[in-house]
């Protein structure tokens, strides 16, 4: 899993920060999460292939998270796209999107598979061979949702030397990968743990923006490898954060701590902050493994120090 930050600013973009957009690469499949203004320009700058994006997730209907979507969908069509786009967004967005397409006489060359987000609990919205995605409610001024991307557990790895040593026929490999022992033609039982290695622990990534602090959020993302959490304001702006439905650095860190997250990535920074280093330092007083989301930077989920 690799995460690329396309935009880390809040409502107002800056000369260095675009509005919210992330791309998660999971098993060479790209998932676009939020689509603020300028997203398709950032995709080009970061050499991310448009055609590999088949799933788009919109957290909520504020402009800094969705204004870039209209241009991107139009570009897909101009490029001759035929594959459907699976669009996950708050349920009231279907009408807004259809109205926009009609108002601007846009006739897409592909279908949009719209998956509505609603409810007050976590819900699985995608399940395939490699990954599951769940949505969960956030607490903002409008209905908002977070997303948890979790790898499925892999099969065990058969040790190559053991295949020749015990003359394991290829037809037996699938069962051994699933945990079965191997029985030789002479009836000798070779324990599975002696001929296989355990798979890597599944990785996970959670996206939480925009939201004010609430205790239940940590339960939705418990044990996540990499948690992205908005930190719009510094700790002195706690009241402003509450009124606007956002979080401070310390509140983001508190959620990461309660969730037992592996690493915390903070972003959605207010345009008032040109230097965000002190925001990271504030969060680290509670959760030391905190890093800033920086436009154009990629992070390896599970090992953030090695992009």
Q: What is the 3-state secondary structure (H, E, C) of the chain?
A: CEEEEEECECCCCCCCCCECEEEEEECCEEEEECCCCCHHHHHHHCCCCHHHEEEEECCECCHHHHHHHHHHHHHHHHCCCCCCEEEEEECCHHHHHHHHHHHCCCCCCCCEEEEEECCCCCEEEEECCCEEEEEEECCCCCCEEEEEEEECCCCCEECHHHHHHCCCCHHHHHHHHCCCCEECCCCCEECHHHHEECCCCCCEEEEECCCCCCCCHHHHCCCCCEEEEECCECHHHHHHHHHHCCCEHHHHHHHHHHHCCCEEEEECECCCCCCCHHHHHHHHCCCCCEEECCCCCEEECCCCCCC
Whether residues 189 and 57 fall in one domain: no
185 and 261 co-located in one domain: no
Overall domain count for the chain: 2
Q: Is residue 283 part of a domain?
A: yes
- pTM of full prediction above 0.85: yes
What does the alpha-carbon distance between residue 179 and residue 133 come to, in Å, rounded to a whole number? Answer: 26
pLDDT tens-digit map of 67-79: 999 999 999 999 9
* Closest-CA residue to 6 (of 42, 55, 38): 42
Phi, psi dihedral angles at 64 (to 5 degrees):
-70, 0
What token pair was written down for 30?
Answer: 């790209």
Kindly tell me if the per-residue pLDDT of 172 is higher than 90: no
Residues 122 and 175 in one domain: no
Is 211 within a domain?
yes
Q: Are 181 and 285 found together in one domain? A: no
More confidently predicted of 97 and 185: 97
200 pLDDT band (50/70/90 cuts)? confident
Grade residue 208 by pLDDT with cuts at 50, 70 and 90.
very high
The residue from 34, 64, 234, 295 that is catalytic is 64
CA distance 18 to 208: 17
Residues 89 and 224 in one domain: yes
**Res 170: pLDDT:** 87
Q: Are residues 105 and 239 in the same domain?
A: yes
- Rg of the Cα atoms in the chain: 22
Tokens of 14: 């800056």
The mean pLDDT of 124-145, rounded to a whole number, is 97
Q: Are 237 and 167 in the same domain?
A: no
Judge if 255 and 146 occupy the same domain. Answer: yes
For residue 38, pLDDT beyond 80: yes
Can you give the pLDDT at residue 49?
A: 95
pLDDT recorded at residue 243 = 97
Mean pLDDT over 14-39 rounds to 96
For 16, the domain range is 2-153+203-300
**pLDDT mean across residues, the chain:** 94
Q: Do the domain assignments include residue 306?
A: no
- % of the chain residues with pLDDT over 70: 99
What is the mean predicted confidence (pLDDT) over 116-124?
Answer: 95
pLDDT over threshold 60, residue 306: no
Residue 169: its pLDDT value, please?
87
**At which residue do the structure tokens 């930050």 appear?**
5
- Would you place residue 185 in the very low, low, confident or very high pLDDT band (cuts 50, 70, 90)? confident
Q: How confident is the model at residue 198 (pLDDT cuts 50, 70, 90)?
A: confident
CA distances from 216 to 204, 263, 287, 301 (A): 19, 19, 18, 24
* Least trusted range by pLDDT, from 145-149, 172-176, 286-290: 172-176
Predicted confidence (pLDDT) at residue 237 exceeds the cutoff of 90: yes
CATH number at residue 102: 3.60.15.10
**What confidence category does residue 201 fall into, taking pLDDT thresholds of 50, 70 and 90?**
confident
Examine the pLDDT at 307 and tell me if it is beyond 60: no
Q: Judge whether 64 counts as a catalytic residue.
A: yes
Report residue 226 as tokens: 């990499």
Select from 197, 226, 251 the last residue of a domain. 197
């Amino acid at each position: 899993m690799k995460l690329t930050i396309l935009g880390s600013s809040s409502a107002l973009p800056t000369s260095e920060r675009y509005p919210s957009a992330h791309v998660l690469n999971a098993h060479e499949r790209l998932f676009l999460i939020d689509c603020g203004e300028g997203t398709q320009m950032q995709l080009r700058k970061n050499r991310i292939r448009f055609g590999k994006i088949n799933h788009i997730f919109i957290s909520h209907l504020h402009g800094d998270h969705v204004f870039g979507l209209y241009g991107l969908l139009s570009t897909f069509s101009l490029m001759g796209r035929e594959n459907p786009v699976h669009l996950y967004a708050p349920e009231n967005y279907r009408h807004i999107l259809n109205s926009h397409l009609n108002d601007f006489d846009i006739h897409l060359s592909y279908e949009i598979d719209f998956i509505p987000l609603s409810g007050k609990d976590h819900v699985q919205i995608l399940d395939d061979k490699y990954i599951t995605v769940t949505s969960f409610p956030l607490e903002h001024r409008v209905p908002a949702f977070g997303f948890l991307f979790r790898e499925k557990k892999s099969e065990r790895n058969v040790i190559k030397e053991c295949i020749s040593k015990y003359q394991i026929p290829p037809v037996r490999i699938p069962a051994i990968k699933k945990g079965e022992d191997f029985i030789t033609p002479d009836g000798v039982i070779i324990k599975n743990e002696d001929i296989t290695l355990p798979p890597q622990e599944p990785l996970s990534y959670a996206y939480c923006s925009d939201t004010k602090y609430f205790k239940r959020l940590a339960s939705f993302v418990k044990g996540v490898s990499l948690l992205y959490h908005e930190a719009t304001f510094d700790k002195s702006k706690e009241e402003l954060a509450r009124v606007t439905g956002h979080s401070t650095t310390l509140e983001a860190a508190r959620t990461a701590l309660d969730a037992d997250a592996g690493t915390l990535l903070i972003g959605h920074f207010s345009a008032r902050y040109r230097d965000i280093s002190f925001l990271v330092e504030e969060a680290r007083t509670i959760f030391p493994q905190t890093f800033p989301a920086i436009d154009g930077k990629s992070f390896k989920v599970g090992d953030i120090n090695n992009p």
